[in-house]
Copies of this chain bind each other. A is one copy, B any other.
Amino acid sequence: MRIIIDAMGSDSYPVPDVAGAVLAAREWGEPITLVGDRAKIDAELAKHTTSGLKIDVVHAGEVIEMTDKATDAAKHKPESSMHVGMQMVARGEGDAFVSAGNTGALLAIATLHTLKRIRGVHRPALTAIFHNSVGYTVAADIGANVECKPDFLAQFGLMSSLYAELALKIDRPRVALLSNGEEEEKGTELVKESGVLMSAMKTINFIGNVEPKEVLGGDTDVVISDGYTGNIMIKSFEAAAATMSGLLRREIKAQPLTLVGGALSQPAFSRVRKLMDPFEIGGAVLLGVDGVVIIGHGRSNEIAIKNAILRAREAVQGRLIQAIRDGINN
């Protein structure tokens, strides 16, 4: 297995990107290719002990910045690290591509210029993996498609179910539709029509509608929605957790006694923070393109990059792409 890493992805590229790749090469011993500005990557690699590690570098002369407009960057920077890296996967020179870069550009380059969609897939879906109160939930779509049709959502359900089963090793994953109520008659026309389609699918374990409370309660393994609503849900989860942390910090600091209490209970806060930390997950798979692509957060540190590489390994080992090809065309 060879994983291709975008060395120019994260906000602080190439520092965490290279460091994460070194950690991964050391832990798993398998070949890793760093794609990007060779001089910068080499300078960064020189700061690490890499003897015995199977790390090589492929030069890419252009960098896509977070501020670049996605479709423009995809079209006008054909020598970007994203373009070069995903082209390698498309040609079979690597098994997966990992990037913490501009999500929109990554989506456009994967879908339109390099890997392309798996035959039969209507639309690719961005996913998120997050902790619920008992394990993990996979959400799709969380932003690739603001407007969706029922058959898009049905495919998101199938692809996410395969991902949860083959990569995350969740047995017979429960797949649900996000809605404003659990009853069948709840939801938009899109939700209702998608529910009819998904109920009829024998390839997924569809359990009906769920509300955000059930999602975080761990009542489903996969939650499906259009990319607009999914994006609002994920960002609302993040915003509420951040706001609550901020309020707690402020109120704990407000009095000497609670400040002492806060210091003593610090290990508990740290464990909760770690549990809710997206960097522990590292990245999420882009479903529907013809190759494994893992997208990390722009603010990724080296641990996040290493964990994103783990997500790529799981998907490759689970033979996810072949399973989606078979599943979609059956």
Contacts and interface: CB of A to CB of B under 8 A. Distances in A.
Interface in A245-277: 245-248, 251-252, 254-255, 257-269, 271-272, 275-276
Interface stretch (A110-118, A160-168, A234-242, A319-327): A234-242
Nearest to A252: B268
B180 A146 contact: yes
A9 interface: no
Interface residues of A, number: 57
What's the number of copies of this chain in the assembled complex?
2
A216 interface: yes
A267 B258 contact: yes
Interface stretch (A78-86, A92-100, A225-233, A296-304): A225-233
B228 A188 contact: yes
A318 interface: no
Contact of A243 (B188, B216, B228): B216
Interface string A131-153: 01100000000010011000000
Question: Interface SS of chain A: helix, strand, loop or mixed?
Answer: helix
Contact of A239 (B146, B187, B212, B259): B212
Interface of A: 132-133, 143, 146-147, 178, 180, 187-189, 211-213, 215-217, 227-229, 231-233, 235-248, 251-252, 254-255, 257-269, 271-272, 275-276
Contacts of A242: 213, 216
A268 B244 contact: no
Contacts of A235: 180, 211-213
Contacts of A215: 239
B255 A267 contact: yes
Contacts of A217: 239, 243
B264 A257 contact: yes
Contacts of A236: 212, 232-233, 236-237, 240
Contacts of A178: 232
Nearest to A215: B239
A209 to B, nearest CB: 12
Contacts of A269: 248, 251
Q: Which of A178, A213, A264 has the most CB of B within 10 A?
A: A264
Nearest to A275: B247
